[in-house]
Amino acid sequence: MTPNPTDPTRLDGKLAIVTGGGSGIGEATAKVFAKAGATVVVTGRQLGPLQQVAEAVGGHAITCDVSDQAQVKEMFVQAQAITGRVDVLLNNAGGPGPIAPVAEVDMGDWVACMNINLVGAMYCLQEAARIMTAQKSGSIINMSSLMGIQGYPMRSAYVASKFAMIGITETMARELGPVGVRVNALMPGAVSGANMDRILARRAEAEGRPAAEIERENYTDVAALKRWVAPEEVGRAALYYASDLSSAITGDKMKVDCGRF
């Protein structure tokens, strides 16, 4: 079936960059974007997983450590050269950061988390803003978190970085709106996968409690739908912001959390 050019769900002819694209939400979103017709560039630090995702979606793999500004600049140069444009950025690369109370957290680990989740995100935003301003079009989707609007014990670095992403989203929406560029934020809740498995294991060790108990009390029983969020569900929410379904929406933030309110 030939795609309908007036279908607002489609991304045909658009180039989308997905940072942190080798696994989890990034991988799932790359697949959703590609199915919608986008040319997808997946970036991250490990070439192997990126190549697997790129092959699966008929896209491109470019290695990039977002905490290194020179690498970010070069990645955007390479990505833009594919079609001459950058139409969508899913600013997704990040890590969970240290899991410890504020009084005890290793500040080296704390700063390292900020350098990836916040400074690295800003490096990507700066390049995307320059390219999209020149194009006078584009959609930027910042990956915040449910922890971007509420504090959470033992996760101060991650919380601080994700709160900051909400403020940056609103700031850039005002800056770039006049040139037709939209900037929105996604706030996933607990998303199933290897990352959450690692977080549960680290919390269980730190708190001296079974991981299953922490999972029920903090992630699944507190959600209205009583379950985890699947990565592809976040990907479909990202498609909403990337596509013309949300053509009048900017400066927005959306929870994707199975009802953890």
Per-residue pLDDT tens digits for 113-134: 999 999 999 999 999 999 999 9
Residue 106 CA to residue 67 CA, distance in Å, equals: 19
Helix (H) or strand (E) holding 90: strand 88-91
User: If you average pLDDT over every residue of the chain, what do you get?
Assistant: 95
Mind listing the domains of the chain with CATH numbers?
Answer: 15-189+230-256 (3.40.50.720)
Per-residue pLDDT band for 22 (boundaries 50, 70, 90) equals very high
pLDDT digits (tens, 9 = 90+) for 36-72: 999 999 999 999 999 999 999 999 999 999 999 999 9
Of 7, 65, 60, the closest CA to residue 243 belongs to 7
Phi/psi of residue 225, nearest 5 degrees: -85, -5
In angstroms, the first-to-last Cα distance of the chain is: 41
Q: Distance of CA 80 to CAs 62, 75, 127, 174, Å?
A: 12, 9, 11, 24
- Residue 1: which pLDDT band, with cuts at 50, 70 and 90? low
State how far the Cα of 203 lies from the Cα of 38, in Å rounded to an integer. 38
User: For a pLDDT cut of 70, what percent of the chain falls above it?
Assistant: 99
Q: What is the pLDDT of residue 242?
A: 98
What is the structure's pLDDT at 225?
94
Burial group, residue 247, by CB count within 10 angstroms (0-12, 13-18, 19+) = exposed
Q: pTM surpassing 0.95? A: no
User: Would you call 158 a catalytic residue per the annotation?
Assistant: yes
Question: What pLDDT digit, counting tens, does each position of 169-228 carry?
Answer: 999 999 999 999 999 999 998 888 777 788 788 888 888 999 889 888 888 888 999 988
Per-residue pLDDT band for 147 (boundaries 50, 70, 90) equals very high
Q: Is the pLDDT of residue 238 over 90?
A: yes
Q: Return the SS3 of 82.
A: helix
Which residues, 6+ apart, have CB-to-CB distance to 55 below 8 Å? none
Among candidate residues 158, 219, 240, 241, the one labeled active-site is: 158
Structure tokens at 222: 């507190």
Long-range contacts of 47-55 (CB under 8 A, 24+ apart): 48/22, 49/22, 49/23, 50/21, 50/22, 52/22, 53/21, 53/22, 53/26, 53/27
